[in-house]
Structure 1
């Protein structure tokens, strides 16, 4: 990548990166094949991509349904809408993407479902706080608890370990049992959603099978855009009941695109030979290196580097000086103050990290 084309912008987000070559070649092949059925009915790309995503999570298509959409926001909002009615409540972390970065899209597409905050350290929900909601409100005068949504990896780059997820599932299932009694409804379900915009980074960090992370998840928003794909995300249903009539929801929100192969084909390139996982491993590795070198220069990290994001404690003057040198990054309000976020991506090079560190060193010398 030429240094004169946004070189110092690349740590702002993993979405500023280009499309990786494997996804781009697969996209190009979709353009060269000729004429194929519309609206996701093509066997050549969309049907194959759906099948491969199901297989990635250890499922066949009888227990897994996949839809492709163009953004993480609409993936999350449609996932909420598949399970929630206007009077329902969704338990999520207060710094989740659902809450902070989706312009009320979940509330809009559900017709008014309420996002209810469940706090916890380092961007992760503390599932023991679920029980606080059992005494919230007065029956049908308040929102009915309907869904739990977690983000993996979180918005601050931390990761739910497999032990964390087991404990969350245990408490979620206990909550569901108690709510069945409270509502006097044996058919009641407390659904489980995972915002996996950076799921690849979590799988790479945990070095586990993808199926272990999504155990008991009802619906997953599986991110492509942040991991080297063009604008394409996959909504993956592991609960077939929630996928019923879902195509109508997708159509109603303008996401049932006629040339669906252009959303699905890149996934074939990403999934082949575990490119999706290699991309995430690379981003995570560069983030660890950057974090370590910043510490060696005397800067404190606000959080451990667990995925592809670094949160560093710069003073305001230091942050201003680095931005004046052209680097693009963002302040982020954490529970204990402000930190500055840097994000590595599939294409982050050693040279890019070196150049950033060289400019940081000039600030230190001042």
Structure 2
């Protein structure tokens, strides 16, 4: 009963097989392999962006940080939600790769709002030499609390950025989960909504470790190549990244896995709701933030469940006290495991 993270699950056998298939003979290094040519074509077709510059890295932190660095000078700031991944989970990597640029956190209990973003940008208007200058805007999709920005919400945020002539980055570590939740196209959720660059995640959705960085403005391509190499994220045996992404995108596997993960989350959500759990935010993709009594947490832990409790001590305290937790479903989770988890309530 492992609900700690979608980073914890297995690699899809088809993706693993693609890596095995790639492990034959010789191939050009550093992203010059033939598989990467195929991946580039696949992504450009999926995103309806024939001129897009496409690159692969092994981690989401590298994807976000290197992409943002291409749009942010050291004296600038990146606008992001208070609880965005680049703020809470990347150990200042975006600031490091951008040469010391800071993050400006937009107050929010979940999603960044256009009004709050506009207020933060307006605060830095005027170009005073004494403060950080306005840089990129970064949007997390799916949010850190499991919510999905609608297309209308995305467009409203990017409109504020464009009004201020600021570029927009989309942190899509769970891009596929958001896409199937919205039932839209990759283009509709990115460049058609005003996004300039996207970190397109694979690791959390059945890959071993690969993320794509997609620039809809190809003029950023050369700078990214320099930054990726200087930042030690250019793989020499790149074909194993290419093979993963190639397998991920073939025959719609990436969306199939996301649909399964979201469906698993919906099943778990329904069971929790039926058992009186309280939800911090309405689950919309594959993550749940909920609370239920300490006594239930104790039974789950004793039964071998693994997940993150966000506040309080599970071992000691009133049995009826609610403790909040995060539960994440991936594509490989079975209905039996979900039902086994729910049987402890």
> Shared fold (TM-score greater than 0.5)?
yes
Aligned length: 331
- Secondary structure at 2:152's aligned position in 1? helix
- Secondary structure at 1:58's aligned position in 2? coil
Deviation track 1:118-164 (CA, whole Å, cap 9, x = no partner) reads: 1234x211111122221348612111111000011111110000111
- Secondary structure at 2:343's aligned position in 1? helix
- Secondary structure at 2:129's aligned position in 1? helix
Higher mean Cα deviation, 349-358 or 124-133? 124-133
Structure 2 match to 1:5: none
Deviation track 1:220-239 (CA, whole Å, cap 9, x = no partner) reads: 11100000011111111112
CA distance in 2, matches of 1:69, 1:197: 12
Structure 2 match to 1:56: 46
Higher mean Cα deviation, 149-158 or 167-176? 167-176
Q: Give the alignment partner of residue 23 of structure 1, picking from 12, 15, 18.
A: 15
CA RMSD of superposed structures (Å) = 1.6
CA contact (8 A) 2:293 2:323 kept: no
Unaligned runs of at least 5 residues, structure 1: 1-7, 177-189, 362-366
Structure 2 match to 1:40: 31
- Secondary structure at 2:279's aligned position in 1? coil
Please say if 1:191 is aligned against 2:191.
no
Q: Give the alignment partner of residue 55 of structure 2, picking from 38, 46, 67.
A: 67
Structure 2 match to 1:296: 274
CA distance in 2, matches of 1:323, 1:95: 27
Please say if 1:318 is aligned against 2:309.
no
Q: CA deviation at 1:241?
A: 2.4
Deviation track 1:86-121 (CA, whole Å, cap 9, x = no partner) reads: 111000011111001101101111111010011234
Structure 2 match to 1:167: 156
Q: Give the alignment partner of residue 127 of structure 1, picking from 107, 110, 114.
A: 114
Structure 2 match to 1:179: none
Higher mean Cα deviation, 68-77 or 164-173? 164-173
Unaligned runs of at least 5 residues, structure 2: 312-321
CA distance in 2, matches of 1:210, 1:191: 18
After TM superposition, the structure 1 = structure 2 runs for residues 1-366 of structure 1, keeping only pairs within 5 Å, are 8=1, 10-32=2-24, 34-43=25-34, 45-60=35-50, 63-121=51-109, 123-133=110-120, 134-136=122-124, 139-176=128-165, 190-215=166-191, 216-332=194-310, 339-359=324-344, 361=345
CA contact (8 A) 1:130 1:175 kept: no
CA contact (8 A) 1:218 1:239 kept: yes
CA distance in 1, matches of 2:228, 2:188: 28
- Secondary structure at 2:306's aligned position in 1? coil
CA distance in 1, matches of 2:223, 2:323: 44
CA contact (8 A) 1:127 1:172 kept: no
